[in-house]
Structure 1
């Protein structure tokens, strides 16, 4: 009774009752009994049917050999199973009937939507992901060229499966990073506009199987009213990150007006602010970008240790960013008329009365908004050398 020395006698019966009610791990599921879904591809088959392709990973048990369909690394087997249905829930149910192990969604990294399905209404399929307790709402969403099934069944040479490849690409900030929850919030917004990463399958290495390759980010898919209406190419995608305040890394190269050669910069940090204004019935938006950079290459003869030349390259860098952002904004605003940068939210917060009066006519207002881009850059590091690393003292311009 030493364990119960400090417990009042009157409480002991309740303590024993609690112990009797503990059932232990009665509902535990052994890892050998589950099929881990790492990626899900969704394709349109016809007007009434979709096809779900699941990338399944089964952990390797003691004495079990590696499956022939496995990808790069890992201690298990990766393979694909597909099922058709009239809805995503229906297809998932059919998928379970093709697997001897219980489907487990806790390791799902990515959802991939095929091009044809993306051009139709994707909202109903997203409803299942957000409503059911199985699918992960924080898994990343991608739109792919062609069929999602082709991406799911890839066997990358380095990673365990294609889900790991896409997950790491999303985390590396080379393109947009959008989760199922992010997408649901964008589609439920008043404008119904969304931007998602666009991926394409790269050609395999010579002599390799066509499946032994990866899918890579190649731009941005633009959605309006739950349908994909267009695409922004890979070169203009960094500007989408600028405008959504999601730019965290990236290299930009300029040719200074004062010298031949180029200067390349790597982003350290940045911040983008949307400043709305409504005066005399005119809607204006100022996009303010502030960014700090470091120099990673300089083939000019300019000595960037001198304030005069540093100000020159900073001015040229700011102008380059402004021109790129203007070009992307023009495409999205004038040609696509899709508010993927949430200008509506900025006006709603800044001018709620004006917004309430005109929100039903946003499609007419958005293309007419007057834009002003202000980029302010600061180079805070010049690298390990102040002067030209491969130039003589006489070649470096200091005045």
Structure 2
């Protein structure tokens, strides 16, 4: 075969290969334009009549969500979101009915928040969250809340600083002011050793007049998948200390022998749970190490004096101990739900003993003795080295 014939053969094979490859290019046959989608930003689940569930969704209005001046909180223009609802025996059935009155295909990929109404939470949530973990579209990173009253009322809030209530709840979760729980973490708690869970409690605020906002105000406590009670935000801090999840904390107290308050801001903290079984008694020791800054000093104490600082550190440790013990007593005696992770600690250190009591852990948990050992360190006294507005001769420990 001469050179010309060889080149022709090669070109023919290349042409044939290119034509063959085009058969495997499927193209965008299943594409959906963004203009054809109804983007779900937040989801509400409420108890409906006849054992049905009410599904409410907060849908973004793309034109209004585009930003621009005057769009904050939906004031000065069109509302950035709308709320639609439907009922059904399951979430998917309710979604199908919802789709009948929404002109665009409902898309769950942008859902950031799942809010569960109080009544539904008390009856049980396990069968309802199955949809969000089984369906391929919803995010497992969505934050989960329990709402006082109905979840749909939370979705309808139009805030001043953000474009939607979905953004408010997401940012509150990211700040970790209280509990911050994703859908994935909720499922892990429900299938864990204790099958107890804790979710942030959110409320609609109606102050000042004619204004509405949202506030995380404590924690909803679940035993298995049913809500058994609620703890306030102060007690929630104790839960976060024990779970080693404390990120933001303000502690204020009046030092002994002084007039006025001192406020501390948490820098960082670490908690270690140490289980022990001895003579048939189950005990947990929580070792807490915390570092704090002084952010306000109303007393006449000079916080540059090492002896004074050492004494205040001891009092700060006692304040932390008291808060945690108050939380333990309330949860053990009134709710009997291990939301602290004690069961996991015993399971890791004493697997054989744990296997004998795991089926009766609800009865064993309230009997566990809890000892708190805190070590607090004041790292910085603040920008001022001495109390402000006080004559120098009145400052103590200068």
Q: Please give the TM-score of this superposition, normalised by the length of structure 2.
A: 0.91
Match of 1:44 among 42, 47, 64: 47
Residue 390 of structure 1 pairs with residue 394 of structure 2 = no
Cross-structure match for 2:245: 246
Matches within 5 A, 1:342-361: 342-361=341-360
Unaligned runs of 5+ in 1: 1-7
How far off its partner does 1:361 sit? 1.6
Answer whether contact 2:80 2:164 (CA < 8 A) is retained.
no
Give the structure with the larger helix fraction. Answer: 2
In 2, Cα distance between equivalents of 1:183 and 1:85: 24
Answer whether contact 1:74 1:160 (CA < 8 A) is retained.
no
How far off its partner does 1:289 sit? 0.8
How far off its partner does 1:55 sit? 0.5
The alpha-carbon distance between structure 1 residues 62 and 254, as it changes in their structure 2 partners (threshold 3 A), is closer
In 1, Cα distance between equivalents of 2:151 and 2:218: 16
How far off its partner does 1:242 sit? 0.8
Unaligned runs of 5+ in 2: 1-9
Cross-structure match for 1:266: 265
How far off its partner does 1:9 sit? 9.1
Question: 1:270 aligns to what SS in structure 2?
Answer: strand
Question: 2:394 aligns to what SS in structure 1?
Answer: coil
Answer whether contact 2:64 2:80 (CA < 8 A) is retained.
no
Match of 1:155 among 131, 142, 158: 158
Q: Please give the TM-score of this superposition, normalised by the length of structure 1.
A: 0.91
In 2, Cα distance between equivalents of 1:73 and 1:168: 23
How far off its partner does 1:61 sit? 8.6
Between structure 1 and structure 2, the one with the greater Rg is 2
In 1, Cα distance between equivalents of 2:208 and 2:320: 35
In 2, Cα distance between equivalents of 1:11 and 1:350: 68
The alpha-carbon distance between structure 1 residues 293 and 98, as it changes in their structure 2 partners (threshold 3 A), is same
| RMSD (Å), alpha carbons | 2.5
In 1, Cα distance between equivalents of 2:179 and 2:138: 21
- The size of the alignment, in residue pairs, is 385
Answer whether contact 2:117 2:150 (CA < 8 A) is retained.
yes
Which stretch has the larger CA shift, 37-46 or 149-158?
149-158
How far off its partner does 1:261 sit? 1.2
Cross-structure match for 2:217: 218
How far off its partner does 1:24 sit? 4.1
Answer whether contact 2:121 2:146 (CA < 8 A) is retained.
yes
Deviation per CA, 1:112-141, whole angstroms, max 9, x where unpaired? 100110001210001111111122111001
In 2, Cα distance between equivalents of 1:19 and 1:369: 69
Question: 1:90 aligns to what SS in structure 2?
Answer: helix
Answer whether contact 1:39 1:110 (CA < 8 A) is retained.
yes
